[in-house]
Amino acid sequence: MESALLAKGLNSVPTVAEAELVVLNTCTVTAFADEDVRKAVHRAHRENPSARILVTGCYAQRAPEELVVLPGVTWVVGNSHKIQIPDIVKETKAPYHGEIHVGNIFDQQEFLSAPVEDASGDRTRPNLKIQDGCNNRCSFCIIPYVRGRSRSAPADQVVEQVRNLASRYREVVLSGINLGRWGREVGSTMRLADLIRRLLNETGIERLRLSSVEPMDWSDDLLELVASSGRIAKHVHAPLQSGSDRVLRRMHRKYRPRHYEDRIRKARAWMPDAAIGADVMTGFPGETEEQFEESRAFIESLPFTYLHVFTYSERPGTPAADSPDQVPMEMRKERNRILRELAARKNLEFRRCMVGRTLSVVTLSESALSDNFLKVELSSPRPANQLINVRIGSVTTSGLREHSPLSILQNPIDLA
Ligand code: SF4
């Protein structure tokens, strides 16, 4: 969006106080995300009451009328009209009252996304979105209603973009709303693994990383490709949501725990050092103590190296939000805490196993990120955006530290 606005002749400024226009790209995945958006609007208006605020993204698509009444909001632009933002702000006069541009997202047939030229901000790992939308209807999820049907970026376009990015960056992250569905449109025979093979053959990218892929889309073909290529990060992220069969059914998820387990065990067998992560949710409507325990024990039994734990939050318009047996918020949060502790323990065990090993990392501005998704503190400053091997000396509070030949001198207790 920023590139598109700059191309229209606008200039970017470092603070809200200096801006005439503030663009807020929003998330609506949970009620907490909505609240953050509303706070951000109030904050922007407080800092600069004369700035015009344009709110876009998923919250704008879902509930424009909630946003248009907030102070300072001049435009609310849904995902359906996102690519028209430069024209909306340039060509229409700022309306006196807030103006809504939202259409039916299910009319969207093509993959529309501005080309990614850069890693945003000072990041050194650009995120390339190659798929949008989702055809599933998980009963808790609002995303299909704000993102529309699944659609893929054309393969040639992805190859071209990765080729450009590879000339400046070592690692590119491929992402999507439901990334594993890339290429599944009617008439297409290409799958995500085929696209990745093309990227490896036709571009010079040194490291590709896949963001989240639904468990059943981790085909043997895809796992084998990740396991066998030295240019794909050993990182498998597969959303689980719950380890209880009964909860998964009510969530309308498309797999059972045994299917999920099969994928994860295969990933671990083929990649002994890989990062393996999942999204899990606590307090889905009707989740009993017994079902939560079933889920916890299932998660405990699998070789996860990290978890993203979410507290269930009702999204208006989804079937789960209408369920009569909502779990009390206190209980949802307590279950979240239990799973976070479990995740921290598993992550620490994994990090400890890395001490004494040599890992391939991409240097960031102040640290580095390993092939298997661990943050590494470097023993001496290195320029960002390099792919290097480092020997691991110890674990830190949340990551690893590179072995330093000088470490004994830095710590007088060691000398004693
Ligand atoms: S697969 Fe993911 S994005 Fe699609 S409906 Fe389910 S949770 Fe939402």
Average pLDDT, 10 consecutive residues per value, the chain (416 residues): 89 95 95 96 97 96 96 95 91 76 85 67 82 97 95 97 96 97 94 98 98 98 98 98 98 98 98 98 98 98 98 95 96 98 98 98 95 97 95 97 74 46
pLDDT for 405:
77
CA of 137 to the centre of ligand 1 (A): 6
Q: Is 144 in the pocket of ligand 1 (CB under 6 A)?
A: yes
Distance CA 380, CA 405 (A): 11
Tens digit of each residue's pLDDT (9 = 90 or more) over 374-389? 999 999 999 999 999 9
Question: How many other CB atoms sit within 10 Å of the CB of residue 376?
Answer: 23
Domains annotated on the chain, with CATH: 2-103 (3.40.50.280), 127-353 (3.80.30.20), 358-415 (2.40.50)
Contact 93, 69 (CB under 8 A): no
pLDDT at 416: 38
Alpha helices in 130-177 (DSSP H): 143-147, 155-166
Cα separation, 338 vs 330, in Å, equals 13
User: Residue 116's pLDDT is what?
Assistant: 66
The answer to whether 231 and 270 are in contact (CB under 8 A) is no
pLDDT digits (tens, 9 = 90+) for 65-90: 999 999 999 999 999 999 899 999 98
Decide whether any atom of ligand 1 lies within 6 Å of the 136 Cβ: yes
Is any ligand 1 atom within 6 A of the Cβ of residue 76? no
Residue nearest to atom 2 of ligand 1 (CA): 178
Q: How many angstroms is it from 133 CA to the middle of ligand 1? A: 9
Taking the C-alpha atoms of 133, 135, 141 and 145 in order, what is their torsion angle to the nearest 10 degrees?
Answer: 60
Distance from residue 158's CA to the centre of ligand 1 (Å) = 23
Residue 216, exposed/middle/buried by CB under 10 A (0-12, 13-18, 19+)?
middle
Tell me, what DSSP letter sits at residue 234?
Answer: S
Q: In what order do the strands lie in the sheet with 306-311?
A: 235-237, 275-282, 306-311
Q: Is the CB of 143 under 6 A from ligand 1?
A: yes
Looking at residue 365, its pLDDT comes to 86
CA of 17 to the centre of ligand 1 (A): 38
C-alpha of residue 411 to centroid of ligand 1, in Å: 49
3-class secondary-structure state, position 148: coil
